[in-house]
Amino acid sequence: MMDDFGLYPREEAFDPLGVMLFKALQVIAFLFFLALLAVSPDAKDGKIDSKAEFIITMDWPDNHPDDLDLFVQDPAGNIAWYRHREAGFLTLDRDDRGGANNFIIVNGKKIASPIREEIVTVRGIVAGEYTVNVSHFQATTGQPVAVSVKVQKLNPTAQVIFDNKLTLDHTGQEKTALRFWLDAEGKVLDVQQRHKSLMETFRNVRANGADLDPKTGVRMPRRE
C-alpha cells in the first residue's frame, strides 16, 4: 500500500557494467579535451617555438638613471640594437632605457622598475665572429658606471663562456665587451676582448647612400 502512494522511489535495476562503461567514456572524453587544449593553440596560431642557442645579457646597477645599450653583430654583418631588434638570428628581447622610461603596469598603475638589463638571444648558428658592444647612450650622473656582460651557451647544456665587467663614464662612449668565434656546429673556438667599433660600421653604412640597410636598420640619405 505504501508503494501505491509513492512513498518509495521507483528505481531501475542496478547495472554495474553499464556504470563502468559510462565512467570510462567520461575519462576518455576528458583526456581528449586536455589533448585539444595542448595542441590547438599551436595549430591555430601556426607558431613554432624557436629555441635559443646563446643568450647575451648586459646589466648595470638597479635604479641607475643612465641609459646604456647593447649591440650584437653576427658573422653576416647583422646588428641587433634598439632600432633594429631582429636581425638575422639575433633578437633584442629587452631594451632598457634606464631612468628615462623604465616602468611596468600593475593593476593599471605605472610603477618604476628598478632592474637595469638588456638581453639579446641568438636563435640559430652562423659560423664566424660575433661582436658584443656596450654604448653609453646617455650619461646623467657624471660618474662611471659598472656594466656586467654575460654570454651563455645553452645547448646541449648551459655553459657560461664569458662573464666580466667594464666601466663607461660619458655619453657616446662605446666599448667592446667581447668578440667570440663559432664553428658550424656552434662550438666556441675563441673569445677575445679586442676593440671593434660598431658605431663606425653605422657611419660606413650611412656613407653608402642606401635608404635602409637591412642588416643594421640604419636609415641613410638617398643618393642623388
Q: Quick: pLDDT tens for 117-161.
A: 999 999 999 999 999 999 999 898 889 999 999 999 999 999 999
pLDDT at position 108, please?
Answer: 75
What confidence score (pLDDT) does residue 79 get? 96
Give the DSSP H or E segment for 167.
strand 159-168
Which cell numbers in the block locate residue 23? 565512467
pLDDT digits (tens, 9 = 90+) for 156-202: 999 999 999 999 999 999 999 999 999 999 999 999 999 999 998 88
Give the pLDDT of residue 183. 97
Rounded Cα distance between 124 and 51, Å, is 8
Q: Is the pLDDT of residue 105 over 80?
A: no
C-alpha gyration radius of the chain: 29
d(CA 54, CA 154): 6
pLDDT exceeds 80 at position 207: no
pLDDT at 2: 43
Residue 28 is placed in which grid cell?
576518455
Distance CA 74, CA 132 (A): 9
Rounded distance between C-alpha atoms, residue 209 and residue 132, angstroms:
26
pLDDT band at 218 (very low <50, low <70, confident <90, very high): confident
Q: Quick one: pLDDT at residue 59?
A: 94
92/20: higher pLDDT:
92
> Which of 11-20, 184-193, 201-210 ranks highest by mean pLDDT?
184-193
CA-CA distance, 23 to 41, in Å (whole number)? 28
| pTM assigned to the model | 0.70
Look at residue 51 in the predicted model and tell me its pLDDT: 82
SS (H, E, C) 105-152: EECCEEEECCCCEEEEEECCCCCEEEEEEEEEEECCCCCCEEEEEEEE
Mean pLDDT of the 11-24 span:
59
CA distance 84 to 94: 12
Lowest mean pLDDT among 32-36, 103-107, 175-179, 197-201: 32-36
Position 12 pLDDT exceeds 70: no
- pLDDT of amino acid 16: 60
